[in-house]
Amino acid sequence: MGSDALDAYFNKVYGDTFKAVSRFVVSKCGSVQDSEDIVQNIYTRFYQRIAKKGYDDIDSAEAFVINIAKFECRNYFGSIKKNSVNTYFADYTEEQMVEIEAEMSKEQKNLEDVLCNELLAKQIFEDIAKDDPVIGRIFYLHFVCDMKLDDIARELDLTLSSVKNKLYRTIERQKKKFNI
Amino acid sequence: MNRNDFYKELFEKYALDEEKIRRNALKAAKTPAWKRAVSNHWKTAVGAAAAVAVTVGAVTYIAGQTPVIDIVSSETLLSASQRLQDAEQDYMNSASEDESMTPIYVSFMENMCYSDMSVALSAVPDSDDINIETLYLSDGTRIAGKNEIESYAETGAADKRIAGVKLNAPARSLRDLWDLSCVNIAELGSAKLNDDTFAPIGDDDPLRGDSDTAVTTSAANETTAVTTAFAFVTEKSVTETSAAITETQSETSELSEDPELADPDNIGEDENGDTTVPAETDEPDIVEEVTEDPEEAETSASETSESTEAPQTVSEEISASVTEITDTPDIGLMTQIYQLNVENSLDTILVGDYAVVLTRNSVYCYTIGGLVNPQPKVCEVTNPKIAHADRDNVIISGCGQDGLRNVIVVLDTATGAVYSTDVKPSIGESEIGTVYAASAEGRYFLKAVSASSTYIYEITLNAETGVQFRPLFDYAGAVSLAGYRNNRLWFTAADENMKYSLYSFDCRLGALRTDYTFDGECRVRRSPSFESFIISVNGTGESSGATFVYDVSTGSLCTNEQIHSDAAIAVKYGKIFIGMDGKNYILSADGLTDTAERVDYTGKPYTGYVVYSSDAEKVVISEKLKWD
């Protein structure tokens, strides 16, 4: 099989499946930063497989790649959450959360400028990514994958209140920290 | 742009860069496997090798725990470093075209079940030619032979007990096996590495992070250091132990730490020179230091008797609330005051903006100063007791279903996470005593006690994984932890002749060293930084009545006749502050220097909450100017 044809097939599958695979990995694995490595491993493994045995036998590329993803995730994080029960204290009240939600949809003039300032934007991203890994996953699943918070709560095995508190607590903290 | 759009763009831009991942995946797929894998595997596998050296030693001295790997005797065991060196050569030299069938020993990162292992092995290109010869289970059992393995596969397919496996496979598949992310190390069989000498090398030890150091450690050193140290601490017989522990209780029961030790800002701060200021539990630094209180210091005696009680199942709810008191009395520096009304509380401490209240069955956490906490009950645990508190974490011990104190609850004050861990699998039949923190280095040490011994563990706190234990050493008697710095943990203990010594334990190598021996009973008090401590010697020997200050940063033992046995000590900014008789001194090689009225602060001032007064029904909390 020609290398060009192989690359073309890989690129097509990659484009078609990246969103689903990244969503799967982020929801299953430890942190957004780890997820990047895992997603890379998944596609490396996929490429190696099709290079060695071809892809004629693959009916659903997405199902095939997700299967590889399941294996990778299990190997990476098999030891997570042993003997651990998590809850959180100092939660927001319902009223406070409603206020924050409403504020999220309001236009803010300076946010575009912040995104243009690469240094600051990266700082803000890393502030989230390097915090509690679950928070980064919530941000990714909610804002990039457009998942609803109650779906995220189910996916991450958390309560809705916990997801909301993690999200809003981080946003409120960032408002103060970065003046945004 | 609204905030929703902002975070969407931010994460699309910086999280999981689609194009970069595609490029890297293609590049990695087209690069020969061994080039990709070797450096990464070396780092993890060498770290694991050091871990094995310690683990094998550990099973010889931690009583009451099932050995994880105990397949071969130490005489016949190839050193882990040697195995890695051999495996490295195999990896680099194995030809990709070598199809000859050869034994390959595989150690998994973590124990696997049979079905997962099969899936993993099927990912190897030569999987059709790979035969499973022997399974090595985590409890030391070996399952060999086709029929036995098939039988195990049928009955125990889901049991995660397979630590390693011997395969008969084409030699060229060594690299592919090692490339599997679940594989820690894959080795070619040899005259040295065979069915009798192979023991799986797992990847579950905290020492993994020390891989760089481990690389430079010779195999001989690893083994010698561990064996020597552990032989020392276990050389006492059981009968000697009981005598020793009875005697040494007097040493620990006198352990106490003055509130004034906690921080230089408390030394001499009181106008009257009275160092027992009301705010003795005012901040994490102090709590950290006060944890080795007389109650805990009674070690095994008190804790064991307490633990034999059946777990309390009394259902109760605390009645508590935080109210701001506007009519503040004139209390000097204190600017704002709150009252926490409590009933049925066993203990209350303040950490940062939180008041943690313990009742017989629950832990409550109240925020002070405006934050809302609609659900103050953060967890249920029987007979909770503060094991340690600092600015970052509150560690609470509780009793499990067996009545033993073997549950840990952690409140992470930075993230608000609360997580509990059943630590019985780690500490067996012993019980949690106190936790000591070397704050500067972020290390935590837990003391567990049984009827005959004290066990010291390093623990790591992680909301995701819970509390993880790494056994360090045990001692047939009471141990007083004294200080920690650069991987070395100091403690005092008495031998069977009631001779007290200051020991230090190298947490990386597992080696024990006797630093000083005293001719009298020792009383230890730590500074909050855990980096220096005072040893006061009593008895009738020559050093009776002497007070020593051990500075762990220099390893020097300073003494000064002027230091009273009840003097306070605090180390900050590289200086040893001594507080006594209402005055403050700095201890140096030239002796004691009077620092006049105040300690020379270099930190930043900030306001924090302190307990102004407390009684059975209420805790009055105030704000106070403090120093960083």
Q: What CATH number is associated with residue B434?
A: 2.130.10
This prediction has a pTM of 0.43
Question: B444 pLDDT band (50/70/90 cuts)?
Answer: very high
B225 and B167 fall within a common domain: yes
A9 and A61 fall within a common domain: yes
Chain B hits for A121, Cβ within 8 Å: 10, 13-14
B196 and B281 fall within a common domain: no
- Rounded Cα distance, B139 and B161, in Å: 8
Residue B433 pLDDT > 50: yes
Counting one residue from A and one from B, how many pairs have CB atoms under 8 Å apart?
Answer: 195
Residue by residue, DSSP assigns A73-130 as: HHHHHTTTTSS-EEEE-SPPPHHHHHHHHHHHTSB-TTHHHHHH-HHHHHHHHHHHHT
Question: B594 pLDDT band (50/70/90 cuts)?
Answer: confident
Counted domains in chain B: 3
Ranking B301-310, B481-490, B512-521 by mean pLDDT, the lowest is B301-310
Interchain CB distance below 8 Å, B15 and A79: no
Looking at residue B226, its pLDDT comes to: 21
What SS3 class is residue B447? strand
Note the Cα B110 to chain centre separation in Å: 21
What SS3 class is residue B457? strand
Ranking A120-134, B134-148, B199-213, B401-415 by mean pLDDT, the lowest is B199-213
A103 and A165 fall within a common domain: yes
Residue A40 pLDDT > 70: yes
- Looking at residues B153-176, what average pLDDT do you find? 84
Bigger pLDDT: B541 vs B262: B541
Candidates B11, B26, B374; nearest CB to A139: B11
Bigger pLDDT: B218 vs A41: A41
B498 and B353 fall within a common domain: yes
Ranking B27-36, B270-279, B497-506, B602-611 by mean pLDDT, the lowest is B270-279
Domain boundary among B211, B233, B255: B233
Domain boundary among A77, A112, A132: A77
A8 and A47 fall within a common domain: yes
B408 and B515 fall within a common domain: yes
Looking at residue B523, its pLDDT comes to: 80
The answer to whether residue A48 is domain-embedded is yes
Domain boundary among A44, A77, A110: A77
- On whether the CB atoms of residues B54 and B226 are closer than 8 A, the answer is yes
Looking at residue B285, its pLDDT comes to: 29
Chain B hits for A40, Cβ within 8 Å: 21, 24-25, 28
Question: B565 pLDDT band (50/70/90 cuts)?
Answer: low
Domain boundary among A19, A46, A77: A77
Residue B617 pLDDT > 50: yes
Residue A51 pLDDT > 80: yes
- Rounded Cα distance, A5 and A1, in Å: 7
What's chain B's average pLDDT?
A: 65
B316 and B226 fall within a common domain: no
Residue B199 pLDDT > 70: yes
Nearest to B623 by CA among B312, B336, B224: B336
Nearest to B370 by CA among B390, B392, B354, B391: B354
Which helix (H) or strand (E) is B411 found in, with range?
A: strand B405-412
First to last CA, chain A: 53
A156 and A128 fall within a common domain: yes
B606 and B497 fall within a common domain: yes
Residue B46 pLDDT > 60: no
Looking at residue B603, its pLDDT comes to: 43
Instruction: Give the range with max mean pLDDT: A69-83, B8-22, B193-207, B483-497.
Output: B8-22
A124 and A59 fall within a common domain: no
Torsion sign across C-alpha atoms A24, B109, B44, B105 = negative
**Any B CB within 8 A of A95 CB:** no
- Rounded Cα distance, B207 and B220, in Å: 18
Residue by residue, DSSP assigns B295-325 as: HHHTHHHHHHHHHTSPPP--------EEEEE
Q: What is the CA radius of gyration of chain A?
A: 19
User: H helices then E strands: how many in chain A?
Assistant: 9, 1
- On whether the CB atoms of residues B517 and B498 are closer than 8 A, the answer is no
Looking at residue A88, its pLDDT comes to: 55
Instruction: Tell me how crowded residue B392 is: count the other CB atoms within 10 A of its CB.
Output: 18
Question: Which of the residues B6, B119, B161, B178 would you substitute to probe the A interface, choosing the one with the greatest number of A C-beta atoms within 10 Å?
Answer: B6
Interchain CB distance below 8 Å, B422 and A129: no
What does the buried/exposed string (b/e) look like for B429-448 if buried means 16 or more CB atoms within 10 Å of the residue's CB? ebbbbbbbbbbeeebbbbbb
A63 and A99 fall within a common domain: no
B448 and B486 fall within a common domain: yes
* CATH code for the domain in which residue A28 is found: 1.10.1740
The answer to whether residue A49 is domain-embedded is yes
Interchain CB distance below 8 Å, A121 and B21: no
Question: Which of the residues A52, A84, A171 would you substitute to probe the B interface, choosing the one with the greatest number of B C-beta atoms within 10 Å?
Answer: A84
Counted domains in chain A: 2
Domain that holds residue B17: 1-30
Residue A166 pLDDT > 80: yes
Bigger pLDDT: B393 vs B182: B393
Q: What is the CA radius of gyration of chain B?
A: 28
**Any A CB within 8 A of B367 CB:** yes
Chain B hits for A106, Cβ within 8 Å: 2-3
A70 and A99 fall within a common domain: no
A99 and A174 fall within a common domain: yes
Which helix (H) or strand (E) is B134 found in, with range?
A: strand B131-137
The answer to whether residue A63 is domain-embedded is yes
B398 and B255 fall within a common domain: yes
Question: Which of the residues B2, B4, B8, B11 would you substitute to probe the A interface, choosing the one with the greatest number of A C-beta atoms within 10 Å?
Answer: B11
DSSP H helical segments within B63-160, as ranges? 80-93, 114-122, 146-155
In one-letter notation, the amino acid at residue A24 is F
- On whether the CB atoms of residues B621 and B355 are closer than 8 A, the answer is yes
B465 and B579 fall within a common domain: yes
Name the minimum distance, in Å, from the CA of B180 to any CA of chain A. 9
Looking at residue B319, its pLDDT comes to: 47
Interchain CB distance below 8 Å, A96 and B372: yes
Which tens digit of pLDDT belongs to each residue from B360-415? Answer: 888 888 776 544 455 677 788 899 999 988 877 899 999 988 889 999 999 887 77
Nearest to B108 by CA among B41, B183, B48: B183
- Looking at residues B554-571, what average pLDDT do you find? 70
Candidates B1, B120, B465; nearest CB to A111: B1
Candidates A71, A86, A108; nearest CB to B417: A86
B224 and B311 fall within a common domain: no
**Any B CB within 8 A of A52 CB:** yes
pLDDT > 90 in chain B, percent: 8
The answer to whether residue A14 is domain-embedded is yes
Chain A hits for B15, Cβ within 8 Å: 32, 35-36, 125, 129, 136, 139-140, 144
Question: Which of the residues B368, B418, B464, B469 would you substitute to probe the A interface, choosing the one with the greatest number of A C-beta atoms within 10 Å?
Answer: B464
Name the minimum distance, in Å, from the CA of B211 to any CA of chain A. 19
Residue B238 pLDDT > 70: no
Interchain CB distance below 8 Å, A93 and B181: no
**Any B CB within 8 A of A129 CB:** yes
The answer to whether residue A85 is domain-embedded is no
Residue B283 pLDDT > 50: no
Looking at residue B208, its pLDDT comes to: 26
A15 and A61 fall within a common domain: yes
B288 and B425 fall within a common domain: yes
A164 and A100 fall within a common domain: yes
Bigger pLDDT: B37 vs B195: B195
**Any B CB within 8 A of A72 CB:** yes
A73 and A102 fall within a common domain: no
- Rounded Cα distance, B331 and B385, in Å: 31
Looking at residue B572, its pLDDT comes to: 61
Bigger pLDDT: A180 vs B386: B386
A20 and A66 fall within a common domain: yes
Domain that holds residue A123: 94-178
Looking at residue B459, its pLDDT comes to: 92
**Any B CB within 8 A of A8 CB:** no
Question: A149 pLDDT band (50/70/90 cuts)?
Answer: very high
Question: B343 pLDDT band (50/70/90 cuts)?
Answer: low
In this predicted complex, what is the ipTM?
0.88
Candidates B7, B182, B466; nearest CB to A83: B466
Domain boundary among B187, B217, B233: B233
Bigger pLDDT: B391 vs A78: B391
B162 and B266 fall within a common domain: no
B window 170-229, beta carbon within 8 A of A: 180-182, 204
